[in-house]
Structure 1
Amino acid sequence: MKTPCLILSKITRSFSSAIVKLEKNMSEKTYEDALAALNDLQSNAQYIRDAGKSNILKQVANKPEVLTYLQRTGLNVKDLDKLKVVHVTGTNGKGSTCAYTEQILRNHGCKTGFFSSPHLLEVRERIRINGKPISKTEFTHYFWKIHDLLTNNKENFTDMPMYFRFMTILAFHIFLGNKIDVAILEVGIGGEYDCTNIVKKTLVVGITPLDLDHMSLLGDSLESIAWHKAGIMKEGCTALTVPQPLNVFRIFKERSIEKKCTLNVVDCDYYGGNDRIPLNVCKTNASLALALAEAFLNKDENRNFKKFDFDLAKKSIGITYWPGRYEIKPHQNHTFYLDGAHTLDSCRVCRDWFVSHVNNSKKKRCLIFNLTRDRRADVFFRELLTCDFDVAIFIPNVGSNNDKPDTADFLCPADKQLVQCEANKKLWLEMEGNRSKKVEIALVLPSFEKTVEFLNRTGEYDSLVTGSIHLIGAALSILDPNLGGTLKDD
């Protein structure tokens, strides 16, 4: 009988030889090959779809399966303890809250790693070092190292992590390889069973405003959603949230006691205003980000960084660029207002933001809309009808015929989305009913590029682009294909 030491030695030698073999093969594989291989994996959207057809056991299995795959790539959960983590969940604004927090901490001297989802144009946007998406070279190197290790250790043909799981594992490898000072992790879906929640030691937790979303996975009540979101709390961490409904806060409080951590509510007047984005968004996302950064820097183990400076932190928020959220893009004779509002509350904020900017404009108003998955368009249309649009255009999440493979959607391809676009157009016209102000034109077009061509032929427009964050990516592929220069590959 072999001793445990001999078995461990054999596994170690096998793993080392696999690494050597992989390093030889990786040089032959390109960034484009990596994108093709990534798109072959099931996406996070598939997980959402399947979860609605199964029971809680599928969700519970999520983290253990991620840990199994992580170990196959040479890491274990204790390796993740080396990361100092700021973990953020919620329904509305968690991405921008993370972006603000990252900018503040970077300006206080921290080397930052930031994991977010989804991406707009290129998948490497999801993993950032010091605020910049990782380069294509670095993405390619780490991707093939991890992909090949997972492939070589499969137990059966389908034994590979889904898209989001793979990206989570990839992010942890890149963060550890870059020896970052702080990892800002944006939860994918929920919290308790989310892939990112495999970390055991979290210093600071943030929870943004809650709303009804992903109900097939998280439950159809705010209390159920709150339970899931609060699952990222860890023993000894500082948990921060913004004002929430009483029933939500009660769940947060109960879970903080269960998790043995402190829970505090952030004063939304902590941050003032900003002309670029709606005041209430500033008062929530920015105030929470300020508090998260302050709590992180005040931890005893982080005293080697700059002392929290409120003026520097507020200035950091003012220069943060987080594309596709309350973004205004002049283009040719038009002005496009882009926001990936995906819940009722965020749609209302988006509507008010748009109207406040175009009230005195003489241009026509156009809605450019798409909605996929299980969200109900009628909920959005009740709010958007009050904008008095002249034109309503429904398009799939397609920029043009030259879209990057990073944005390919094999679960809900463009032809399937077009069917839904036709249904949304019909629903919009039905909901206009006896309104005195109706659209002059409602139509379905195949891409954002074709939409711009139509607008050019018919006048000058203030156009609101909303409904899906992936639609925002499609629009930016035409309006700003380098995302303000952030996608320039060094």
Structure 2
Amino acid sequence: MVMWVREIGYQPADFDRFNIVHVAGTKGKGTTCAFVDSILSQYHDHYKTPRRVGLYTSPHLLSVCERIRINSKPLTEEKFAHYFFEVWDMLEAAAVERGGDISIKPKYFRYLTLMSFHVFMKEDVDVAIYEVGVGGQFDSTNVIERPIVTGITSLGIDHVQILGNTIEEIAWHKAGIMKSGSYTYSVWQPESAMDVLRERAKEKGSIFKAIPHAECLKNVRVVPDEDFQKRNASLAIFLTAHVLARLYLSGTTEHDREKIKADADDILSLEQPLPELFGAGLTDTVVRGRCEIIDKAYGRWFLDGAHTKESLEVVSDWFGKIVQTSADQEGVDALCILLFNQQASTRERKRLITTVQERLRQKWNIRPQESIFCTNITFKSQGYATDLDDRNSDHAIVSSLTVQHEYAKYWQLHDPEASTHVVASIEEAIATICDLNKANTGRPVYILATGSFRLIGGVLTILESE
């Protein structure tokens, strides 16, 4: 990755000017980055500082432009294309100069990471928030040399082929983003993982702090209002406070600088109520495809791209709590429908679908009356939506619906009376849901869609076009 950075005319040290917030973790890193971005946008709107904030996250839901944002807004398609081909041309020119093969380019995620550095340099951002792709130690984003602060969100078992099978191995990789002289904040982890993080911090010369569940969030509304989201918010307020405490606040009056620094100090001291702009930033944060609720005439959608055992437990609890509350407080007897897919061959399919089924049944006494398993193909006739093409999956396996029949088999193994449906596209899955609603006897319909961000992106594409 360092070679590619140099090929487009930069050195990794050039990116230090961004005042980078670098976030790794298994669950919640994208949401934590969104919280930081939203709080900083409140200070931008109120005090005109930071002047320009860059945000780099993955994956995207509807458009690849979502991955690179300036002041919370995705790049326009025109700007995205402009910067994409600037990087492309620089790479080819560098290959010609050294007598290399111009057809060799960084792979997809590396290319977009490289492009994000170029965009933020050209757009002159003064804070940049980077979400790690996979792991940390060997991630493309880890060419960053001197972040202003790093954060570690909740750890769990994921990407075992790359990161290892144990929480300790995974913690080692995530801690790879720690840098000498920089602060690292982490939410509370299992003790064995915390030991690894502390040891890695010592090895790398990073100042490590495990943060508590912030009491100042008690009266702040975050969506969803669950413990896991409060953990993400707790980490975000510490990361943001660290930025504001150390950032040179150009263009502000001395009075405003003192007020901003005081807000940051209040957070870091753990002794004061949450500053108003921090609270507003958390409340205003919108993270598409993560605990998102959308109402349609035929039913209420509950959307989340969870794709690990731990995250699927969290999503099942979120859905289960809402269903149970509706039943207990409002007497609602909802028709519950599951829409699920996770196509990756590297994930334990039986473990994932069984997690959803058992969590809903055992903890919440919910047995979805209908379960639908589809591919990530968006449309019945036109195939994938433009930015949602899945080139990592085996075309023959997708076409034969092998994975979807496997999910249906696992589901019926534990619930032989279950009604399951296997369909070839997301469009057909939604049509099936509409048909089920027509045969419904007036009960409200609650649809839980989960398993992958590709699935959720396709669902949103169709729902927003209805």
* TM-score normalised by L of structure 1: 0.80
Task: Report the counterpart of residue 355 of structure 1 in structure 2.
Answer: 320
Counterparts of 1:473-488 in structure 2, within 5 Å, are 473-480=457-464
Which one of 369, 376, 385 corresponds to residue 348 of structure 2? 376
**SS of the counterpart of 1:277?**
coil
Task: Report the counterpart of residue 408 of structure 1 in structure 2.
Answer: 389
**SS of the counterpart of 1:205?**
strand
- Report the alpha carbon displacement of residue 218 of structure 1 after superposing the two structures with TM: 0.5
- What per-residue deviation string (whole Å, max 9, x for no partner) do you get for residues 361-391 of structure 1? 3331111000122111222233322130111
Task: Report the counterpart of residue 13 of structure 2 in structure 1.
Answer: 78
Q: Distance in 1 between matches of 2:54 and 2:85?
A: 20
Report the residue type matching 2:410 in the other structure. L
Q: CA RMSD in A?
A: 1.9
Distance 1:312 1:420, change over 3 A: same
Unpaired stretches in structure 2, ≥5 consecutive residues: 45-49, 265-274
User: Which sits farther off after the overlay, 267-276 or 216-225?
Assistant: 267-276
Equivalent residues, number = 412
Report the residue type matching 2:389 in the other structure. A
- What per-residue deviation string (whole Å, max 9, x for no partner) do you get for residues 168-190 of structure 1? 01000111111111000000000
Q: Distance in 2 between matches of 1:196 and 1:428?
A: 38
Q: Distance in 1 between matches of 2:455 and 2:223?
A: 21
Contact 2:12 2:143 in 1 (8 A): yes
Q: Distance in 1 between matches of 2:78 and 2:147?
A: 30
State yes or no: 1:168 paired with 2:126.
no
Q: Distance in 2 between matches of 1:302 and 1:85?
A: 15
Task: Report the counterpart of residue 21 of structure 1 in structure 2.
Answer: none
Task: Report the counterpart of residue 388 of structure 1 in structure 2.
Answer: 367
- Report the alpha carbon displacement of residue 348 of structure 1 after superposing the two structures with TM: 1.1
State yes or no: 1:287 paired with 2:266.
no
Q: Distance in 2 between matches of 1:200 and 1:212?
A: 27
Counterparts of 1:260-339 in structure 2, within 5 Å, are 260-270=205-215, 271-272=217-218, 274=221, 276-299=223-246, 301=248, 306-307=260-261, 308=263, 310-339=275-304
- Report the alpha carbon displacement of residue 481 of structure 1 after superposing the two structures with TM: 5.6
- Report the alpha carbon displacement of residue 313 of structure 1 after superposing the two structures with TM: 0.6
Report the residue type matching 1:244 in the other structure. Q
Q: Distance in 2 between matches of 1:404 and 1:372?
A: 17
- What per-residue deviation string (whole Å, max 9, x for no partner) do you get for residues 53-98 of structure 1? xxxxxxxxxxxxx111121112222322222100000000000000
Counterparts of 1:442-453 in structure 2, within 5 Å, are 442-453=420-431
- Report the alpha carbon displacement of residue 414 of structure 1 after superposing the two structures with TM: 6.0
State yes or no: 1:398 paired with 2:372.
no
**SS of the counterpart of 2:154?**
coil
- Report the alpha carbon displacement of residue 300 of structure 1 after superposing the two structures with TM: 5.8
State yes or no: 1:189 paired with 2:134.
yes
Counterparts of 1:54-93 in structure 2, within 5 Å, are 66-93=1-28
Task: Report the counterpart of residue 424 of structure 1 in structure 2.
Answer: 407
- What per-residue deviation string (whole Å, max 9, x for no partner) do you get for residues 118-174 of structure 1? 101110100000001001111011111111222344323652100001000100011
**SS of the counterpart of 2:343?**
coil
Report the residue type matching 2:12 in the other structure. V
Counterparts of 1:8-23 in structure 2, within 5 Å, are none
User: Which sits farther off after the overlay, 105-114 or 146-155?
Assistant: 146-155
Report the residue type matching 2:412 in the other structure. L
Contact 1:369 1:467 in 2 (8 A): yes
Contact 2:32 2:233 in 1 (8 A): yes
- What per-residue deviation string (whole Å, max 9, x for no partner) do you get for residues 427-455 of structure 1? 2112325xxxx42x211112222122112
Contact 1:449 1:478 in 2 (8 A): yes
Task: Report the counterpart of residue 216 of structure 1 in structure 2.
Answer: 161
* TM-score normalised by L of structure 2: 0.84
Unpaired stretches in structure 1, ≥5 consecutive residues: 1-65, 483-490
Q: Distance in 1 between matches of 2:393 and 2:61?
A: 16
Contact 2:2 2:143 in 1 (8 A): yes
Q: Distance in 1 between matches of 2:107 and 2:247?
A: 37
Contact 2:222 2:283 in 1 (8 A): no
Q: Distance in 2 between matches of 1:102 and 1:342?
A: 24
State yes or no: 1:471 paired with 2:443.
no
Q: Distance in 2 between matches of 1:423 and 1:340?
A: 20
Report the residue type matching 2:212 in the other structure. D
Contact 2:42 2:280 in 1 (8 A): no
**SS of the counterpart of 2:18?**
coil
Task: Report the counterpart of residue 271 of structure 2 in structure 1.
Answer: none
**SS of the counterpart of 1:335?**
strand
Contact 1:425 1:442 in 2 (8 A): yes
Report the residue type matching 1:458 in the other structure. L
Report the residue type matching 1:466 in the other structure. T
**SS of the counterpart of 1:201?**
coil
State yes or no: 1:123 paired with 2:56.
no
